Amino acid sequence: MDLSVVVPVYNEEQNIQYLYDQLTEVLEPLGLEYEIICADDGSRDRSFALLKELAQKDPRLKVIRFRRNFGQTAGFSAGFDYARGDIVVTIDADLQNDPAGIPLLLDKMAEGYDVVSGWRKERQDPFLSRKLPSRIANWLISRTTGVQVHDRGCSLRAHRREIVKDMRLYGELHRFIPDIAAWLGATMAEVPVNHRPRRFGKSKYGIGRTFRVILDLITVRFLQSYSTRPIHIFGKYGLLLAGVGFLLGLWLTFEKLVLGQSIGNRPALILSVLLMVMGVQLVSIGLLGEMIVRTYYEGQEKPIYAVREIIDYSTPSHAEAVQKVERQK
């Protein structure tokens, strides 16, 4: 199969028919073997019934129905797990992403990129509550992760299947897919895409997501650099704090024993003890982290690396070796 289109759907009943029509209109002329995977995220309206009806008529449409609302990230994740296409395209169900962008993404993918992101250059959303926070967040995330992407909020994106199969998404990390992909070593590009106002239904998010984005950023940044060596970050600051506390304590001891001064009423004494305790705690957290990392990778036999390809002409079939690595993942 050439292409899988993954669509998270949550209470979008009025959009379903248009979505299906517009997608089909764009995808059919491409002459590719494709599938559309809708992840119905516990919709409480008629979304699932409508999707099921369409799927009965067109087997290229597949529907994964969640038992309850698990969030957009889970929707993407289920779609990724189910996808069989060489290229996996994600798109929102609310028609804000114009499916006409899909061929543009595919053209760019043909140049050899692993991930091509849509960029809503002319985004049709309110400025103050949407576009401004999004712009600040994208800027901040790019600064922090070093991944230069303009628009992480744009669901319209194309990925090579290997990249999404390797991706483990939790919480609301779908906003960080480009950053996680870059961390897996993906090559990336951006393409400006058309964006439209929401015609039916309501947005599922409010301004509250801003705070969650900041917390998620801390997670992603941490995982990006320290997921296999937590002691390096916790230990560094732990040793620093404990060291400063120890020196301070040493100085106080000197004052007491040699200079004969009273140190019982000195704030520096409390600070010194505090720093040392905090330092020991940070180092301990680092050590606990090291143990958790081992259970994480070894318990699931996950490699700590991501392979692009393997060249080994000594094996009977090179393709076989590649497949084996794929299977091990």
Residues in contact with ligand UDP by CB under 6 A are 8-10, 12, 41, 69, 71-72, 75, 92-94, 96, 153, 203-205
Using CB distances below 5 to 8 A depending on partner kind, what does residue 151 bind out of ligand UDP, Mg ion, none?
A: none
How many residues are recorded in the chain?
Answer: 329
Nearer to ligand UDP, 123 or 248 (CB): 123
Report, in Å, the least distance between residue 126 CB and ligand UDP. Answer: 10
Using CB distances below 5 to 8 A depending on partner kind, what does residue 238 bind out of ligand UDP, Mg ion, none?
A: none
Residue 151 near Mg ion by CB under 5 A:
no
Report, in Å, the least distance between residue 53 CB and Mg ion. Answer: 23
Residue 12 near Mg ion by CB under 5 A:
no
Report, in Å, the least distance between residue 157 CB and ligand UDP. Answer: 13
Using CB distances below 5 to 8 A depending on partner kind, what does residue 10 bind out of ligand UDP, Mg ion, none?
A: ligand UDP
Report, in Å, the least distance between residue 93 CB and Mg ion. Answer: 8
Contact positions with Mg ion (CB under 5 A) in 79-118? 94, 96
Nearer to Mg ion, 16 or 283 (CB): 16
Report, in Å, the least distance between residue 92 CB and Mg ion. Answer: 5
Nearer to Mg ion, 77 or 96 (CB): 96
Using CB distances below 5 to 8 A depending on partner kind, what does residue 231 bind out of ligand UDP, Mg ion, none?
A: none
- Residue numbers of the site for Mg ion (CB under 5 A)? 94, 96
